[in-house]
Structure 1
Amino acid sequence: MAQGRGWEGAVLRLMRAKDFTLTVTGAEDVTPRFRRLHLTDGGLLAATAVHPTMWVRLWFDNAGKPHQRAFTLVDPDPAAGTFSLEFALHEGPAGDWARAARPGDTIEATVQGTGFEEPSPAPSHILAIGDPASLPAINSLLDALGTAPATVWFENAENAENTENAGNAESAEDAEGTAVGLPFRTDPARHEIRHVPRAELVERVRAELPALLAATPDPYVWIACDTRTTRTLSAYVRKELGVPRERTHALGYWRAS
């Protein structure tokens, strides 16, 4: 497939993207709607190093045409050369492949565009805004930033329309999901999850974020929702609330159809 990835593959090659072959070693159904695949990395972690919220693009066949989607690494282990990926089991090339995947199956992966710059000074409070598509990245972020307290506005998408999005970064196969889909990796003593009905997220963040920002000296605001919501909230945080760019991170994880 490396030679047949269409214009997306051509652009990535020009941007010096790195390609790897992943091999499935096992699978588990986390819920009836989500499946976690365990994979060997084909040398990926040794070649690229690991950072929080790291994601890779996987290449699927879609009726003879290349189809790429991005997924956040779960529990990457550079020493073992392994990680896991989590799939929403909806109709589409990614979900179909994950549903059928068995040990020994392989898939091509590309690394390009992922990155994370740890804020300095360390956050005194993490303020994260996301939805089911970005939950693996939220878990990775909370793991990486240590003991800082966190408030997470989490959009429940039980009424979401089908979308083409990145299983957890930049786009994913379907943003449908609920707060009880994949599990949060949170510590109730320092992490607060505020569940928000779909379509009310922007209003809730506008109402609640300013007071939390005013109460912490070194905030870190992390936003990963659909592209439109991410742009709206990013502009609000930076332009209206005046949070410096280096204290924010925003990436649209999927596009509504």
Structure 2
Amino acid sequence: MAVGKGWEGVVLKLMRGKDFTFTVTGAEEVTEHVRRVRFTDGGLLAALGASAHPTMWVRAWFGGGGRPHQRAYTLVDPDPAAGTFAFEFVLHDGLASRWALGARPGDTLEATVQGTGFDAPVPAPGRLLVIGDPASLPAINSLLDAYPRTPATVWFETQHPSDAGLPVRAGAAPRDVRRVPRGGTALADRVRAELPELLGPDPAAAYVWLACDTATTRALTAYLRKDLGLPKQRVHAQGYWRPA
């Protein structure tokens, strides 16, 4: 699907964003609220080379209302040798969800690579403390894949009963997944109650990765940095979405 990128596309081009066209090869339902769409990468992974990283995302373009709209999606199971990957769409009433529901083999999707990054913690973490929800699950899984031998605790906010079945990657080290039903400040409250004891005697040995709605992300980032005193380089926080 060709979509003109408007002024945002011009800005991204000036910032040296690179454009690619992905082609749909198939799709399947992960749950009734999450749909995985598989693509050939249009040369993306070869172009990235060594710059590919965990939590890698691109800006996909969707047309609607007579203008282009960009949405960020994390690459799921990228295979550089085959030139393939997938996106996982959390379904709701929106342009990207409608596109995903109608996607068929041979359909195309334009995307721009600009702005993504990942600073690997140095020294390598002795424990991963991860906070997210279905929107950030692809990034969470790519992070867990990058540290298969590092123990991890994951606080995972769920909205629908089927979210309990969303797969969190296993590894050689234990993965403690704590599912928290969405509601008010439930996720933030649970993290505040449980995370401190997991830091142990050397909090700087842990690495906290946080990506959920913007309000929760802001509140927990302030808590981690100000109340617990975690070093800036041991906390990654990014708001993934805003409530409608």
Whether the TM-score (by the shorter chain) exceeds 0.5 is yes
Q: Name the amino acid aligned to 2:155.
A: W
Q: State TM-score, norm by structure 2.
A: 0.91
Aligned partners of 1:154, 1:29: CA distance in 2, in Å?
20
Listed as ranges, the gaps of 5+ residues in structure 2 are none
Aligned partners of 2:11, 2:17: CA distance in 1, in Å?
9
Pair 1:255–1:239, CA change in 2 (3 A): same
Mean alpha-carbon deviation: is it higher for 210-219 or for 94-103? 210-219
The two structures, once aligned, show a CA RMSD in angstroms of 2.0
Q: Aligned to 1:204, what secondary structure does the other structure show? A: helix
Aligned partners of 2:9, 2:208: CA distance in 1, in Å?
32
Aligned partners of 2:121, 2:64: CA distance in 1, in Å?
39
Q: Name the amino acid aligned to 1:153.
A: W
Offset, 1:253? 0.5
From 148, 151, 172, the counterpart of 1:149? 151
Aligned partners of 1:188, 1:82: CA distance in 2, in Å?
26
1:179–1:195 CA contact under 8 A, matched in 2: no
Q: Aligned to 2:233, what secondary structure does the other structure show? A: helix
Q: Aligned to 2:195, what secondary structure does the other structure show? A: helix
Q: Aligned to 2:7, what secondary structure does the other structure show? A: helix
Query: Per-residue CA shift, 1:65-99, capped at 9, x if unaligned?
Result: 21111111111011211111111233221111111
1:74–1:83 CA contact under 8 A, matched in 2: yes
Match of residue 176 from structure 2 = 192
Aligned partners of 2:234, 2:144: CA distance in 1, in Å?
16
Structure 1's consecutive aligned runs of 4 or more residues displaced over 4 angstroms after TM superposition are none
Listed as ranges, the gaps of 5+ residues in structure 1 are 159-176
Aligned partners of 1:57, 1:202: CA distance in 2, in Å?
28
Q: Aligned to 2:61, what secondary structure does the other structure show? A: strand
Offset, 1:193? 0.8
Offset, 1:14? 2.5
Aligned partners of 1:189, 1:115: CA distance in 2, in Å?
25
Offset, 1:187? 4.7
1:202 aligns to 2:188 (yes or no): yes
Q: Aligned to 1:96, what secondary structure does the other structure show? A: helix
Q: Aligned to 1:180, what secondary structure does the other structure show? A: helix
Aligned partners of 1:2, 1:124: CA distance in 2, in Å?
45
Q: What is the correspondence of 1:85-104 to structure 2 with a 5 Å cutoff?
A: 85-104=87-106
Aligned partners of 1:117, 1:35: CA distance in 2, in Å?
29
1:70 aligns to 2:72 (yes or no): yes
Q: Name the amino acid aligned to 1:195.
A: R
Match of residue 213 from structure 2 = 226
How much identity, in percent, do the aligned residues show? 66
Offset, 1:216? 5.2
Aligned partners of 1:185, 1:70: CA distance in 2, in Å?
22
Is the helix fraction higher in 1 or 2?
Answer: 2
Match of residue 211 from structure 1 = 197
Match of residue 53 from structure 2 = 51
Aligned partners of 1:240, 1:196: CA distance in 2, in Å?
22
Q: Aligned to 1:30, what secondary structure does the other structure show? A: strand
Q: Name the amino acid aligned to 1:106.
A: T
Match of residue 20 from structure 1 = 20
Offset, 1:157? 2.4
Q: State TM-score, norm by structure 1.
A: 0.86
Offset, 1:215? 4.6
